[in-house]
Amino acid sequence: MAIKNEFIKAQLDMQKQICLTNQFNAIKYVAGVDLAYYNVDGTEHAICAIVVIDYETKEVVEIASYTAQTTVLYIPGCLSFREVPIFLKANELLNTKVDLYIFDGNGYLHPRNMGLATHAGIILDLPTIGVAKNYFKVQDTDYIMPAPIKGAYENIIINGKVYGCVLRSRTNVKPIFVSIGNNIDLQTSRDIVIHLTSKESRIPLPTRLADIEANRLRKIAQTIK
DNA sequence: GCGACAG
DNA sequence: ATCTTGTCGC
């Protein structure tokens, strides 16, 4: 498939820019990013919602969103090319100077270590974390199920390299998959995800709120049709 | 041909 | 991701 090869070349080119160390002094504003999709007369549209919260008080600081027609189809491994352009437009509407972004999807846990969170992180040149609700198998490697206790985790090691981890964000609840995006390390990513996860959801608060906002806007757009 | 496949 | 109602359970 010609299109997919273009994406792979672009990912391989970006690969060498990934930063695996913390590049921040303090975290004040954290943004959660999520997209929702719907159709209008057979034309697919996407809504990107970004919700910024205060890392300590967890209060919502700002919400931004951007809707656009979809131009790129979804191909496993190439998700970022579909979602990053729309995310960047929504991000332009943000007034808050965000310290860290959390994406709904993988970062380093990707065939070329270039998932959504990493791709966006390199463009933003800011710290990002990828949090996926489902496992995206790389090189036929399975993950080890962590203990059913909040905070338990197992690193996902592929060919001797740590791609990310499976983290139990809530006791007795299906685990999530955490990986670095850019300008951050995995240990810190895990700590932050745990800090932002409570009994309301197994997903960290910023992305959970972004998910709710994106779907709220989608339902409104669908009833207007 | 069959199954897998972040969102 | 989305199409979709009720339903079992804390």
Residue A190 included in any domain? yes
Does residue A134 register a pLDDT over 80? yes
Closest CA to A111 of A163, A156, A63: A163
Structural domain contains residue A147: no
User: Which sign, positive or negative, has the C-alpha torsion A172, A178, A184, A186?
Assistant: positive
Rounded distance in angstroms from the CA atom of residue A85 to the C1' atom of nucleotide C7: 40
Read off the pLDDT of each residue in A116-137 and give the average, rounded to a whole number. Answer: 98
How long is the CA A224 to C1' B6 vector, in angstroms?
Answer: 30
Check whether A225 has a pLDDT greater than 60: no
A222 CA – C8 C1', rounded, Å? 30
| Domain-located, residue A188 | yes
Q: Give the bases of strand C that a protein CB approaches within 7 Å.
A: 1-3
Locate A90 and state its tokens: 């929504």
* Mean pLDDT, range A85-110, rounded to an integer: 98
Mean pLDDT for all residues in chain A: 96
Q: Residue A50: is its pLDDT beyond 90?
A: yes
- How many domains would you assign to chain A? 1
Residue A157 covered by a domain: no
Percent of chain A past pLDDT 70, that is, above it, reads 99
**For residues A207 and A51, what is the distance between their CA atoms, to the nearest angstrom?**
7
Q: Mind listing the pLDDT tens digit for each residue in A146-201?
A: 999 999 999 999 999 999 999 999 999 999 999 999 999 999 999 999 999 999 99
Q: What is the CATH number of the domain that holds A212?
A: 3.30.2170.10
A189: left (phi over 0), alpha (psi -120 to 50) or beta: alpha
Which residues does strand B reach (CB under 7 angstroms)?
A 34-35, 37, 74, 76-80, 104-106, 110, 115-116, 130, 132-137
pLDDT, position A111: 97
What is the dihedral angle through the alpha carbons of A26, A22, A148, A57, rounded to the nearest 10 degrees? Answer: 10
Do the domain assignments include residue A152? no
Nucleotide nearest the Cα atom of A83 (by C1'): B7
Q: Is residue A192 in a domain?
A: yes
Straight-line distance from the first to the last Cα atom of chain A, in angstroms, rounded to the nearest whole number: 34
Domain carrying residue A9 = 2-142+178-224
Radius of gyration, CA atoms only, chain A: 17
Does residue A134 lie in a domain region? yes
Q: Quick one: how far is CA A20 from the chain centroid?
A: 16
Helices (H), A75-167: 79-92, 116-124
Residue A47 in any domain: the answer is yes
Strand B nucleotides with an atom less than 7 Å from a protein beta carbon: 4-7
